[in-house]
Amino acid sequence: MGLAGVPLLLTVCWLGTAGAAAAGGKVLSPPSNLSYSFVQICTLNWTWNPPENVGSSCDLEYSSEVVIGEVPQDTRAWSKSRSRVTETCLSEELRFRVRSECKHDNTTQPSSWLETSLLPKGVPGTAAANLSCVWHNLESMVCTWRAGENASRDTNYTLSYWFDGLNGSKECRNYFMHQGLYGCTFNLSFPNITRSYPVVRILIRDHSEEIRPVCASKNPTTIVKPATPGQLTLSNVKDEIHVEWSESETFPENCLVYEVQYHTGDLTTAQIIQVESNYMSVPSVDPKSKYTFKVRANPKPECYSSHLYSDWSEEKSIGEKQHSCNLLHLVYFCEKMDSTFPLALLITLPLTVAVSTIILLVYLKRLQILILPPIPDPREILKRMFGEQNEDPQSCAKDDSLNTCDRFIKEEEIHSLIVTETPVCANADKET
Ligand SMILES: *[C@@H]1O[C@H](CO)[C@@H](O)[C@H](O)[C@H]1NC(C)=O
Ligand SMILES: *[C@@H]1O[C@H](CO)[C@@H](O)[C@H](O)[C@H]1NC(C)=O
Ligand SMILES: *[C@@H]1O[C@H](CO)[C@@H](O)[C@H](O)[C@H]1NC(C)=O
Ligand SMILES: *[C@@H]1O[C@H](CO)[C@@H](O)[C@H](O)[C@H]1NC(C)=O
Three-class secondary structure of residue 264 per DSSP? strand
Protein residue with its CA nearest to atom 9 in ligand 4: 154
In the prediction, which pLDDT does 237 show?
83
CATH number of 5-118: 2.60.40.10
Burial class (CB in 10 A: 0-12, 13-18, 19+), 67: middle
User: Residue 341 has what pLDDT?
Assistant: 52
Phi, psi angles (nearest 5°) of residue 372: -115, 85
The reply to whether ligand 2 has any atom less than 6 angstroms from the CB of 401 is: no
Cβ of residue 210 lying under 6 Å from some atom of ligand 3: no
CA distances, 109 to each of 30, 54, 81, 277, 308 (Å): 11, 12, 20, 63, 50
Measured from the CA of 106, which atom of ligand 2 is nearest?
Answer: 1
Instruction: Note the pLDDT of residue 49.
Output: 92
Model pLDDT, residue 378: 59
Which amino acid appears at position 163 of this protein?
F
Ligand 2 within 6 A of CB of 22: no
Ligand 4 center to residue 157 CA distance, Å?
A: 10
Closest ligand, as measured to the CA of 152 = 4
Looking at residue 425, its pLDDT comes to 37
Query: Right CATH number for 226-329 from 2.60.40.10, 1.10.620.20, 1.10.287.3510, 2.40.50.100?
Result: 2.60.40.10
Amino acid letter for position 426: A
Q: Whose C-alpha lies nearest to ligand 3, atom 7?
A: 124
Q: Is 45 in the pocket of ligand 1 (CB under 6 A)?
A: yes
Strand duo 290-299 + 240-244: pairing: unpaired
- The pTM of this model reads 0.65
Q: Is 154 in the pocket of ligand 4 (CB under 6 A)?
A: yes
Cβ count within 10 A of residue 334: 20
Q: Which residue, 339, 296, 290, is CA-closest to 317?
A: 290
Amino acid (1-letter code) at residue 357: T
* Ligand 4 pocket check for 177: Cβ under 6 Å: no
* CA-nearest residue, atom 11 of ligand 1: 45
Cβ of 106 below 6 Å from ligand 2: yes
CA of 107 from ligand 2 middle (Å) equals 8
Contact 298, 309 (CB under 8 A): yes
pLDDT value at residue 387: 53
Of 224, 200, 183, the closest CA to residue 87 belongs to: 200
Q: Which helix (H) or strand (E) holds 39?
A: strand 32-40
Residue 210's closest CA among 144, 156, 131? 156
Length of the chain: 432
The response to whether residue 153 sits with its C-beta less than 6 Å from ligand 4 reads no
Strand ranges in 179-255 using DSSP code E only, listed in sequence order: 181-187, 200-205, 214-218, 224-225, 233-237, 240-244
> Atom 5, ligand 2: which residue's CA is nearest?
106
3-state SS of 57-109 is CCEEEEEEEEEECCEECCCCEEECCCEEEEECCCCCCEEEEEEEEEECCCCEE
Q: State the chain's maximal CA–CA distance in angstroms.
A: 135
Reported as a single tens digit per residue, the pLDDT across 152-189 is: 888 899 999 999 888 889 999 999 998 889 999 999 98
What is the distance in A from the centroid of ligand 4 to the CA of 156? 6
- Cβ(83) – ligand 1 distance below 6 Å: yes
Residue nearest atom 5 in ligand 1 by C-alpha distance: 47
Residue by residue, pLDDT tens for the chain (432 residues) are 444 434 344 444 344 443 434 445 688 888 999 999 999 898 999 999 999 888 788 888 999 998 887 777 777 888 889 999 988 888 888 899 999 998 887 788 888 999 999 888 888 889 999 999 999 999 999 999 999 998 888 889 999 999 988 888 999 999 999 888 999 999 998 887 777 889 999 999 998 888 999 999 999 999 999 999 988 888 888 888 888 998 888 888 888 999 999 888 776 778 888 999 888 888 877 777 888 889 999 999 988 999 999 999 988 888 775 544 444 444 444 444 544 455 566 667 667 777 787 777 777 777 676 666 656 565 665 566 655 454 444 443 434 444 433 444 344 444 443 433 433 333 434 433
- For residues 228 and 137, give the distance between their C-alpha atoms in angstroms, rounded to a whole number: 9
Closest-CA residue, ligand 2 atom 8, reads: 106
Residues 6+ apart with CB under 8 A from 47: 33, 34, 35, 36, 37, 82, 83
What separation in Å is there between the alpha carbon of 105 and the centre of ligand 2? 9
**Alpha-carbon distance 419 to 416, whole Å?**
5
The CATH number, out of the four listed (1.10.579.10, 3.30.70.20, 1.20.58.220, 2.60.40.10), of the domain defined by the range 129-224: 2.60.40.10
